[in-house]
Amino acid sequence: MSTHESDTGSRSESTPQTWSGDVLVVGAGTAGCYTAATVAEAGYDVAVVERKSESEAGHIACGDALKGADAFPEAIPKERLEPAFTNTGVDHGRFEIPQEDTVLEIPVPGELAVIDRWEYGRRIIDAADDAGAEFHYDVVVQDVLQDDDGTVTGVKGVRKGDAREFEADVVVDAAGALSILQDKADLSEATFDTNVSYSQFCSAYREIVEVPEPVEWDDALVFKPTERAAGYLWYFPRTDTEINAGLGFQMNEEPMELVDDLKADLRQREEFEGAEVEDKLGAALPTRRPYDSATAPGFMAVGDAAAHVNPTTGGGIAGAAYAGKYAAEAAIDAIEAGDVSEEMLWEYNERVMDHYGARYAALDVYNILSTAVDVDDLMGLLAALPGEKLAEALYGGSTEFSLRLKAVTALKSFGYWSNIWEFYQTKQQADRLLEHYEDYPSSPDALADWQAERDAIMDDVYEVTGADPKY
């Protein structure tokens, strides 16, 4: 049970000088709230530390497109979230390719919704609070607490100038991309993935824009390339007049002027004439494979903090929710066994890889390819590919081309045959990688050998694509 000294606070916030309990979660996003709700519903003490104020918590930069809207873990079921779903009529992606003077429409498999991300954020916080999680707002985490054997035992932080400490049997890092916890913790003796750099991430910016008249594409997610292959613009309709408009670029490329570049494109679109900006926000997000391991003694990372994001689309809400569920269940098992070692927490890694991690790692191969090809060639190739097969590649990590489809594609793609051959070779490597990830090790002792074989496949990926090594 938790023990703490309390300050006066609103709602479930007690903001203690010290807190001690079963599980500590840092970050009140999707992964953090699903972790906390799952732990609390099981009857264990859990605190969520959040750097934002109570009124700002849940306000996160996001594209607002939610893939997999039909399935959420039971700790916070779909019906708790549905009031934040503002557009459930989206069923396809619309790729605008100015270089080819064409628009490519592809189906999006599964249920899709565009959401009000702030409202969604408030609802998952409310649900975790109702389940029994304690929330501590305005806390800026500054350091990690560890035992002499390297076991993570808590964090140190500051709330409005006052020092705070939070201790727990298990600490869950849900603090987002490039989390400070991973910088402060000594993870050298664990398998936890430290092969992480800013160049594997994307810098993004979005505005919520109200347009005067309904747009014609309110049933589609609209994508448009920037002048560089490593960047794209998006227009996601929350409603037929409220649009999430944004763009991002890979951080290993020359920086874009995100605000100016977005405004320049908005000015070129007639439907945005006379529009008003309601909200604006920026963020970093992973565009890399999931962490090889997101566990260390007493410690797990979830969601963006472990790169649980589709690297080709940036979608990560559903994956983060399930990461929270899996981490919470691993933490509960470890606490019940009185053993928070990495071996005990390892099942969390296995469940993530089995559910979506392997697929995301294969998709990262196509992201690597995009950094090595000319943007005009890439857009020409996309325009030539059959839409349903492109959808399979983007969301499934693999696709098959029948002889007929290959012939049709070849006829449509005269002038891009060398790129198609390169794409085909890249697909073969992505398939190899997917198969290898399906044999993810069942214990941390086997990880090094598995990584060595994976890295050999990646060497072939770099050779086929001509891309610079990403890892």
**Residue 435 within a domain:** yes
277-316 residue pLDDT tens:
999 999 999 999 999 999 999 999 999 999 999 998 888 9
**What is the average per-residue pLDDT within 370-399?**
62
**Residue 80 within a domain:** no
Q: How far is CA 20 from the centre of its chain?
A: 29
Residue 195's pLDDT band (boundaries 50, 70, 90)?
very high
**Residue 194 confidence (pLDDT):** 97
| 298 and 282 part of one domain | no
Between helix 117-131 and helix 30-41 the angle, nearest 10°, is 20
| 301 and 441 part of one domain | no
**What mean pLDDT value characterizes the chain?**
88
**Residue 68 confidence (pLDDT):** 78
**Residue 409 within a domain:** yes
Residue 455's pLDDT band (boundaries 50, 70, 90)?
very high
Residue 226's pLDDT band (boundaries 50, 70, 90)?
confident
| 308 and 432 part of one domain | no
Give the least confident one: 210-219, 220-229, 239-248, 308-317.
220-229
| 40 and 142 part of one domain | yes
Name the residue range of residue 272's domain: 87-110+199-286
**Residue 164 confidence (pLDDT):** 96
Structure tokens, 109: 């498999």
Q: Is the pLDDT of residue 412 over 60?
A: no
| 394 and 315 part of one domain | no
Residue 1's pLDDT band (boundaries 50, 70, 90)?
very low
**What is the average per-residue pLDDT within 61-85?**
90
What separation in angstroms does the CA of 301 have from each of 59, 77, 83? 21, 22, 29
**Residue 246 within a domain:** yes
Q: Is the pLDDT of residue 196 over 50?
A: yes
Domain containing residue 239: CATH number: 3.30.9.10
Q: Is the pLDDT of residue 410 over 80?
A: no
| 364 and 422 part of one domain | yes
Of 237, 253, 286, which residue constitutes the final position of a domain? 286
**Residue 408 confidence (pLDDT):** 45
Residue 394's pLDDT band (boundaries 50, 70, 90)?
low
How many CB atoms neighbour CB 61 within 10 A?
A: 19
Q: For strand 231-237 and strand 220-225, is the pairing parallel, antiparallel, or unpaired?
A: antiparallel
| 203 and 188 part of one domain | no
| 38 and 184 part of one domain | yes
Of 357, 391, 413, which residue constitutes the final position of a domain? 357
**Residue 333 within a domain:** yes
Residues 6+ apart with CB under 8 A from 8: none
**Residue 28 confidence (pLDDT):** 98
Q: In what order do the strands lie in the sheet with 85-87?
A: 65-67, 112-115, 85-87
Q: Is 365 helix (H, G, I), strand (E, B) or coil?
A: helix
**Residue 80 confidence (pLDDT):** 95
Residue 17's pLDDT band (boundaries 50, 70, 90)?
confident
pTM for this model (two decimals): 0.89
| 20 and 168 part of one domain | yes
| 264 and 125 part of one domain | no
Give the least confident one: 250-254, 390-394, 461-465.
390-394
Between helix 387-396 and helix 358-370 the angle, nearest 10°, is 120
Of 286, 305, 332, which residue constitutes the final position of a domain? 286
Q: Is the pLDDT of residue 149 over 50?
A: yes
**Residue 458 within a domain:** yes
Q: Is the pLDDT of residue 219 over 70?
A: yes
H/E/C letters for each residue in 2-47?
Answer: CEECCCCCCCCCCCCCEEEEEEEEECCCHHHHHHHHHHHHCCCCEE
**Residue 54 within a domain:** yes
Q: How many domains is the chain partitioned into structurally?
A: 3
**Residue 72 within a domain:** no
| 352 and 369 part of one domain | no
**What is the average per-residue pLDDT within 320-326?**
98
Q: Is 387 helix (H, G, I), strand (E, B) or coil?
A: helix
Between helix 317-337 and helix 30-41 the angle, nearest 10°, is 40
Domain containing residue 167: CATH number: 3.50.50.60
Q: Is the pLDDT of residue 409 over 90?
A: no
| 147 and 51 part of one domain | yes
Look at residues 114, 32, 25 and name the one whose alpha carbon lies nearest to residue 321.
Answer: 32
**Residue 314 confidence (pLDDT):** 85
